[in-house]
């Protein structure tokens, strides 16, 4: 039979009553209900052909198994295996076959055998389980000619399993331009073990608009192929997806069917191994044997619209021999509009011829229509002939493009579209006299690319040997005019390894400049990319949205050109050159052109090398290295406080301190952490440098509030109640300005003395700014450690005197509590001195007291007796005054007995010592008492004379 059919019959059984009719279906012998497959090869290399019902069929009566082809059997390219008769047959016209391979080049739908598996990669199991549901809609998406990965932060695997009868390989083409998405390709065998070929499973990045290829060897047996991507979302920026096309697998021994040619291609002969592209202005549908006249690569003919101003663009012609140029207009290719329709615009006529713009600085007009670079050692401003630099000067090498009549030889432009359809071969940017601007492109979501290649940079002699010094810089002036969600990207590629986005600008931006610092001597490719809209559309609605670059300047370019000369030192060893570079850390004196070393604790500016003002002072607490190329802290600091000097030594903290805080989460729920490395101080080699261009280091002390540089360190960031030791602030500031940080970036590290935290201590961030910064420009860190305490001095201890024991006394020295110092001076040793006990002094005191009492009694008696004698003499003089004038008074005595000496004469006639007089007086008193039997000091009756 030539058409499918079914055989049916009625059946009944005999029994009690009549049962309903039973229907049954036999499997159709024309194979509409089943297909053939081969079993696995046995140890003898044999296999069987068996019939397998199709998933939607429910039938019985399948054909019996039969002997199959030998395991080494395979079909040639352009053929397929007809399983019914087990013979190789040629593919019909409009189809193709690889013979022993499979090729997937049409992605209108996900081909049979492919599957998507989405997961959420997270270190925390609970978090991954909670967020896995958000990845349900993430998958690889077919886009016609290619398949596109997901754009979110889910992990999605595109999986295909294939069984190989012999060794083979898998080959595919891809575009992978965003390093914010991880792309890996690996293989597992039927024991779920990764193959040896997956050692290098990470796929390499590709350049914008270019398709890369990847090939991996496959082993016999079952191989499971994985294309897996994981996006890392940074803020509001969306990752650019990975594109994969033309997946080819060899080693399957045969294919049981041929593949139809995809739209836009055809095969006009049986047994084709591939399909040919339709010629221009023709089209074809799927499985076509020939093409129909129409537009190139189209699957159908559409009505051509009338031409508008969105269908053409203007260019500047090259300078002719007369030095003239003019504006011309060109249709955007492919041209899909019609000029013969009503209201259709014609292509505008060319403009008037005008004088060509001058050559760019460092170039000259050689009499032709092009500009040539000046010879080595010569300069030009672009309008005059080249001239040599005078003696004592050298050309300031670089590149400066500010006139755009022709694209420079080291620049190229291209157009890139994820579909790679209408953008191939088109220019992305067009020169326009005083600027270069983005071109038309094939559609609004094209990426318009402009590349500038720099082979390397010349090491500046002024900073030779400096780590992290500026080797050059690229600056450009630009503007964007947009009515949609346009974006302009600036990207940098180092040594052609990978392209990273440095900065991007969205929507309309006024004319402004941007500068990027180069600190590594390597080959650089700078890329500008402009996209009018990110929406997937195949039209030109925003053709007038444009990006313009007015000038591009790159300094210190290796083998560059120059428009000016700069002074250099004149030395004795010139070696045939008029210039002798200054040694590192030396500036050029303007008056004499001689090299002078920068003063101590200053560093040489990266922007100029002549004039003493090029030596910039280091910040407080820091000093310059030997080359005067950077400032660093030697980890020591002295601070005068209340007439007391506090000395700090942070040497034990000179290593790198690390801090990781978080986690934080993106808008999609992806968890990430912030990780900081802090190099506090060090010597000239190990660390503590301002390692970025224009950086300054300031080291100071603050107790309440201190202003360092342009940043105000407020104690509210780190509360410090009842703190007696002042904090030490390390302040690092970069003068490099960026769009988010108009005043540059800065970091403040507050060192706080905490004796309870030995060693490295702890690093923390303010509670008000949990990520270390509140504005993204100024970062604050608190480093608490015992190593941040000042060095110990004599003011940090006191002495304690012990009791006198057995004639000896001890003096001890102890630290003040709480101890807030370290190292420095050590505690003095215990001091022992001699002393007297208390009993000895009591004896001495008693003896002295007794002697004093006796002396007081003796002196009292002595002076009393002397007073009695004076009274006696006074009375006698009064009596004598009343007697006769010529009568002399009779001799008198005060009870002086016969044989006794006159006491007055004894006392006053000899000049004795006080002790001798006391002894004499005591002897006489004792003798008188002995003879009279009474006291000489006894009272007597006043006014009477008594004589003994």
- The H helix count followed by the E strand count for the chain is 4, 64
Q: Concatenate the DSSP letters of all residues of 640-697 into one string.
A: EETTEEEEEE-GGG-SEEEEEEEEEE-TT--EEEEEEEEE----TTTS-B--STTEEE
In tens, the pLDDT along 53-67 reads 887 777 777 888 888
Rounded Cα distance between 49 and 65, Å, is: 6
Q: Concatenate the DSSP letters of all residues of 757-804 into one string.
A: S-TT-EEE--TTSTTSBSSSSEEEEEEEEGGGSPBP-GGGEEEEE---
- The phi and psi torsions of 241 (rounded to 5 degrees) equal -70, 165
Question: Of 189-193, 205-209, 482-486, 636-640, which one has max mean pLDDT?
Answer: 482-486
Does 927 score more than 50 pLDDT?
yes
Rounded Cα distance between 920 and 943, Å, is: 31
- Chain center to CA of 866: 108
Beta strands in 520-568 (DSSP E): 524-531, 546-555, 565-567
Structure token pair of residue 370: 């092009």
Rounded Cα distance between 395 and 372, Å, is: 17
SS3 label, residue 329:
strand
Report yes or no: 844 and 852 within 8 Å, Cβ to Cβ: no
Domains in the chain, please, with CATH? 34-90 (no CATH), 102-121+136-252 (2.60.120.260), 301-356 (no CATH), 371-563 (2.60.120.200), 622-791 (2.70.130.10), 797-834 (no CATH)
Confidence of residue 690 (pLDDT cuts 50, 70, 90): low
Report yes or no: 579 and 393 within 8 Å, Cβ to Cβ: yes
pLDDT top residue among 735 and 565: 565
- For 740, residues 6+ apart whose C-beta sits below 8 A from its C-beta are 776, 777
Minimum mean pLDDT range among 151-155, 330-334, 832-836, 858-862:
330-334
SS3 label, residue 229:
strand
Pairing verdict, β 631-632 and 636-641: unpaired
Rounded Cα distance between 600 and 602, Å, is: 6
Report yes or no: 324 and 405 within 8 Å, Cβ to Cβ: no
Structure token pair of residue 873: 């003499």
Does 446 score more than 80 pLDDT?
yes
DSSP-derived letter for residue 270 is T
List C-alpha distances in Å: 228 to 104, 115, 508, 666: 18, 12, 37, 21
Report yes or no: 295 and 306 within 8 Å, Cβ to Cβ: no
Q: Concatenate the DSSP letters of all residues of 35-73 into one string.
A: EEEEPPP-TTS--EEEEEE-TT---B-PPPPEE---TT-
pLDDT at position 681, please?
A: 82
List C-alpha distances in Å: 325 to 108, 316, 406, 412: 48, 7, 11, 21
Rounded Cα distance between 413 and 429, Å, is: 6
Averaged over 135-154, what is the pLDDT?
85
Averaged over 15-42, what is the pLDDT?
60
pLDDT at position 617, please?
A: 86
pLDDT at position 469, please?
A: 64
Report yes or no: 365 and 319 within 8 Å, Cβ to Cβ: no
Q: Give helix 838-882 / helix 914-932 axis angle, nearest 10°.
A: 70
Mean predicted lDDT score pLDDT of the chain: 76
Report yes or no: 197 and 214 within 8 Å, Cβ to Cβ: no
Averaged over 391-414, what is the pLDDT?
85
In tens, the pLDDT along 884-918 reads 454 555 554 444 444 544 444 444 444 555 556 65
Does 525 score more than 50 pLDDT?
yes
pLDDT at position 219, please?
A: 83
Q: Which of 56, 95, 60, 57 is nearest to 78 (CA)?
A: 95
Task: Give the DSSP H/E element, type plus range, for residue 283.
Answer: strand 282-283
Averaged over 61-79, what is the pLDDT?
81
Report yes or no: 787 and 650 within 8 Å, Cβ to Cβ: yes
**Residue 230: beta bridge partners?**
155, 182
pLDDT at position 300, please?
A: 58
- The phi and psi torsions of 626 (rounded to 5 degrees) equal -65, -35
Averaged over 635-653, what is the pLDDT?
85
pLDDT at position 193, please?
A: 56
Does 688 score more than 80 pLDDT?
no
Other beta carbons within 10 Å of 477: 16
Q: Concatenate the DSSP letters of all residues of 460-524 into one string.
A: PGGGTT-TT---EEEEEEEEEE-SSS-EEEEEEEETTS-EEEEEEEES-EEEEEEEEEE-S-S-E
pLDDT at position 194, please?
A: 59
SS3 label, residue 128:
helix
Confidence of residue 622 (pLDDT cuts 50, 70, 90): confident
SS3 label, residue 852:
helix
Q: What's this model's pTM, rounded to 2 decimal places?
A: 0.44
pLDDT at position 806, please?
A: 79
Averaged over 612-632, what is the pLDDT?
82
Rounded Cα distance between 106 and 146, Å, is: 7
In tens, the pLDDT along 102-122 reads 888 888 888 888 998 887 655
pLDDT at position 159, please?
A: 92
Report yes or no: 740 and 775 within 8 Å, Cβ to Cβ: no
In tens, the pLDDT along 218-258 reads 888 888 899 999 887 655 456 778 889 989 988 887 777 88
Report yes or no: 734 and 744 within 8 Å, Cβ to Cβ: yes
Question: Of 408-422, 621-635, 754-768, which one has max mean pLDDT?
Answer: 754-768
- The phi and psi torsions of 819 (rounded to 5 degrees) equal -75, 120
What residue has token string 């703190």? 723
Report yes or no: 429 and 451 within 8 Å, Cβ to Cβ: no
Give me the percent of the chain exceeding a pLDDT of 90. 11
- The answer to whether the peptide bond before residue 49 is cis (omega within 30 degrees of 0) is no
Task: Characterise 664 by phi-psi region: left (phi > 0), alpha (psi -120 to 50), beta (else).
Answer: beta
pLDDT at position 182, please?
A: 85
In tens, the pLDDT along 449-486 reads 899 999 888 875 433 333 346 788 999 999 999 988 89
pLDDT at position 425, please?
A: 57
Angle, alpha carbons 369-372-378 (nearest 5°) = 145
Confidence of residue 127 (pLDDT cuts 50, 70, 90): very low
- Chain center to CA of 421: 38
Averaged over 67-82, what is the pLDDT?
81
- For 701, residues 6+ apart whose C-beta sits below 8 A from its C-beta are 637, 639, 641, 646, 726, 727, 728, 729
Other beta carbons within 10 Å of 933: 7
pLDDT at position 76, please?
A: 84
pLDDT at position 510, please?
A: 92
Q: Concatenate the DSSP letters of all residues of 581-640 into one string.
A: PPPTTEEE-TTT--EEEPPTTEEE-SS--BSGGGEEEPPTT-EE-TTSS-EE--SEEEEE
Report yes or no: 66 and 38 within 8 Å, Cβ to Cβ: no
pLDDT top residue among 932 and 554: 554
Pairing verdict, β 509-518 and 22-23: unpaired
Averaged over 160-183, what is the pLDDT?
85
Beta strands in 54-167 (DSSP E): 66-67, 79-82, 87-90, 95-96, 101-104, 114-119, 141-142, 147-148, 155-164
pLDDT at position 376, please?
A: 83
pLDDT at position 849, please?
A: 87
DSSP-derived letter for residue 200 is G
pLDDT at position 505, please?
A: 92
To 10 degrees, the CA torsion angle through 691, 692, 697, 702?
-110
Rounded Cα distance between 725 and 703, Å, is: 8
Give me the percent of the chain exceeding a pLDDT of 70. 74
Rounded Cα distance between 387 and 377, Å, is: 8
Torsional sign, CA 239, 245, 251, 253: positive
Angle, alpha carbons 605-607-608 (nearest 5°) = 75
């Amino acid at each position: 039979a030539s058409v499918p059919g079914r055989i049916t019959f009625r059946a009944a059984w005999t029994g009690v009553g009549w049962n309903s009719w039973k229907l049954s279906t036999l499997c159709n012998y024309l194979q509409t209900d089943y297909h053939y497959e081969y079993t696995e090869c046995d140890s003898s290399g044999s296999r069987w052909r068996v019939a397998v019902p199709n998933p939607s069929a429910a039938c019985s009566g399948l054909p019996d198994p039969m002997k199959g082809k030998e395991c080494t059997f395979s079909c040639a390219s352009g053929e397929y295996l007809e399983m019914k008769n087990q013979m190789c047959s040629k593919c019909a016209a409009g189809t193709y076959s690889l013979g022993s391979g499979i090729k997937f080049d049409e992605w209108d739908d996900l081909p049979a055998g492919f599957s998507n598996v989405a997961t959420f990669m997270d270190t925390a199991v609970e978090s991954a389980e909670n967020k896995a549901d958000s990845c349900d809609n993430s998958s690889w998406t077919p886009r016609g000619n290619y398949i596109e990965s997901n754009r979110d932060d889910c992990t999605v695997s595109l999986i295909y399993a294939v069984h190989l009868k012999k060794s083979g390989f898998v080959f595919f083409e891809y575009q992978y331009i965003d390093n914010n998405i991880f792309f890996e390709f690996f293989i597992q065998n039927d024991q779920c073990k990764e193959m040896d070929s997956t050692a290098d499973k990470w796929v390499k990045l590709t350049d914008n608009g270019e398709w890369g290829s990847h090939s991996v060897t496959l082993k016999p047996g079952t191989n499971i192929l994985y294309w897996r991507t994981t996006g890392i979302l940074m803020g509001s920026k969306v990752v650019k997806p990975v594109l994969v096309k033309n997946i080819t697998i060899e080693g399957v021994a045969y294919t049981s069917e041929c593949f139809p040619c995809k739209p836009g291609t055809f095969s006009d002969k049986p047994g084709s191994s591939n399909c040919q592209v339709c010629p221009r202005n023709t089209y074809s549908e799927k499985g076509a044997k020939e093409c129909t006249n129409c537009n190139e690569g189209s699957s159908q003919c559409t009505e051509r619209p009338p031409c508008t101003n969105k269908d053409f663009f203007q260019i500047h012609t090259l300078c002719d021999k007369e030095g003239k140029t003019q504006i011309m207009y060109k249709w955007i290719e492919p041209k899909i509009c019609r000029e013969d329709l009503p209201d259709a615009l014609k292509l505008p006529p060319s403009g008037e011829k005008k004088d060509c713009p001058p050559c760019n600085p460092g170039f000259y007009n050689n009499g032709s229509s092009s500009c040539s670079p000046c010879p080595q050692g010569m300069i030009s401003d672009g309008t005059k002939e080249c001239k040599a630099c005078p003696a004592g000067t050298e050309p300031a090498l670089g590149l400066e493009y500010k006139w755009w009549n022709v694209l420079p030889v080291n620049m190229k432009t291209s157009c890139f579209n994820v579909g790679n359809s209408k953008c191939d071969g088109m220019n992305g940017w067009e020169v326009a006299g005083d600027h270069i601007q983005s071109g038309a492109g094939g559609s609004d979501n094209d990426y318009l690319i402009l590349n500038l290649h720099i082979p390397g940079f010349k090491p500046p002699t002024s900073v030779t040997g400096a780590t992290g010094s500026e080797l050059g810089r690229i600056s450009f002036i630009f503007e964007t005019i947009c009515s949609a969600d346009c974006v302009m990207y600036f990207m940098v590629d180092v040594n052609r390894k990978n392209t990273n986005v440095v900065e991007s600008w969205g929507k309309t931006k006024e004319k402004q400049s941007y500068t990027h610092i180069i600190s590594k001597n390597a080959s650089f490719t700078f890329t500008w990319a402009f996209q009018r809209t990110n929406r997937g559309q195949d039209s030109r609605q925003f053709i007038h949205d444009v990006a313009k670059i007015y000038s591009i300047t790159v300094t210190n370019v290796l083998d560059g050109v120059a428009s000016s000369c700069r002074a250099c030192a004149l030395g004795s060893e010139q070696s045939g050159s008029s210039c002798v570079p200054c040694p590192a850390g030396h500036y050029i004196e303007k008056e004499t052109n001689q090299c002078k070393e920068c003063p101590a604790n200053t560093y040489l500016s990266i922007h100029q090398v002549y004039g003493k003002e090029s030596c910039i002072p280091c910040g407080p607490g820091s000093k310059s290295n030997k080359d005067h190329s950077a400032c660093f802290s030697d980890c020591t600091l002295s601070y005068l406080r209340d007439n007391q000097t506090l000395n700090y030594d942070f040497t034990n903290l000179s290593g790198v301190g690390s801090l990781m805080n978080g986690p934080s989460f993106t808008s999609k729920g992806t968890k990430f952490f912030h990780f900081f490395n802090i190099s506090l101080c060090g010597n000239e080699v190990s660390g503590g440098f301002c390692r970025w261009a224009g950086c300054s280091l300031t080291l100071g002390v603050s107790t309440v509030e201190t202003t360092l540089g342009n940043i105000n360190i407020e104690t509210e960031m780190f509360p410090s109640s009842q703190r007696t030791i002042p904090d030490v602030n390390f302040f690092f500031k970069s003068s490099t300005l960026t769009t988010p940080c108009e005043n540059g970036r800065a970091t403040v590290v507050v060192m706080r003395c905490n004796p309870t935290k030995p060693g490295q201590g702890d690093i923390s961030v303010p509670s008000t700014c949990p990520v270390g910064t509140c504005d993204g420009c100024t970062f604050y860190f608190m480093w608490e450690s015992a190593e941040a305490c000042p060095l110990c001095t004599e003011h940090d201890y006191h002495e304690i005197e012990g009791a006198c024991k057995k004639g000896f006394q001890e003096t001890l020295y102890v630290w003040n509590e709480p101890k807030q110092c370290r190292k420095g001076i050590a505690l003095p040793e215990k001091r022992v001195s001699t002393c007297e006990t208390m009993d000895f002094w009591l004896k001495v005191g008693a003896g002295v007291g007794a002697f004093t009492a006796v002396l007081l009694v003796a002196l009292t008696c002595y002076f009393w007796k002397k007073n009695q004698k004076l009274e006696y003499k006074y009375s006698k003089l009064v009596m004598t005054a009343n007697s006769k004038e010529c009568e002399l008074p009779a001799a008198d005595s005060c009870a002086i007995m016969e044989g006794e000496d006159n006491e007055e004469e004894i006392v006053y006639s000899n000049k004795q010592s006080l002790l001798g007089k006391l002894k004499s007086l005591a002897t006489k008193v004792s003798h008188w008492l002995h003879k009279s039997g009474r006291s000489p000091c006894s009272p007597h009756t006043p006014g009477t004379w008594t004589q003994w």
